Chains A and B, each alone.
Chain A
Amino acid sequence: EDKVVQSPLSLVVHEGDTVTLNCSYEVTNFRSLLWYKQEKKAPTFLFMLTSSGIEKKSGRLSSILDKKELFSILNITATQTGDSAIYLCAEAGGTSYGKLTFGQGTILTVHP
């Protein structure tokens, strides 16, 4: 059975801090690893990673995948209160980008 584990489960920081969120996975047919941000309702897509060692970057957020060690990290630099959210890691196995196995999520709280 595919499994995705995120750590930490929750994190409280102050504005300006840098955070690293972790995601490890055990899957039989790896296709890609995805990161989503969920504030109040719909999770919004952040990154999709398919190749090892290639960093994806968007503003203050970046992510990288290690297919040998089966993990990914999401970095957020110079955090802002608007970064407060649940960050979800998911693995897309098999032939579909829609059949995702999600981790438990990391609840990030950024205080002013």
Chain B
Amino acid sequence: SQTIHQWPATLVQPVGSPLSLECTVEGTSNPNLYWYRQAAGRGLQLLFYSVGIGQISSEVPQNLSASRPQDRQFILSSKKLLLSDSGFYLCAWSADEPLHFGNGTRLTVT
């Protein structure tokens, strides 16, 4: 069966520091991968998606970037965090079926 791993679970970072969140999927090949952000326990907003290695599409302009160095690995990064980057970040995968989400990373920028 397919599983999705996301880490760390929580993160507190100062403004201006870099960020790297990692997500890996097991049990499937060539999945579509997604990064969503959820603010204040509400609806999710799509940030990035990837249909293959090295292929990244950005949905909203922001201080973040994404990369997919391997088929089942998706990384969310920032060079310098802003206070507004705080939120709950969820990685997800799909293969022509409804999204399956990871357990998320709660990021607090102080």
Contacts and interface: CB of A to CB of B under 8 A. Distances in A.
Whether A associates with B in a native complex is yes
Interface in B28-78: 32, 34, 41-46, 49, 59
Interface residues of B, number: 23
A55 B7 CA distance: 37
Contact of B43 (A45, A48, A102): A102
Interface size, A (range): 20 to 34
Given A41-B104, A42-B90, A102 B44 contact: yes
A41 B99 contact: no
B103 interface: yes
A99 interface: yes
Given A41-B104, A45-B99, A99 B49 contact: yes
B94 interface: yes
Interface of B: 32, 34, 41-46, 49, 59, 90, 92-94, 96-104
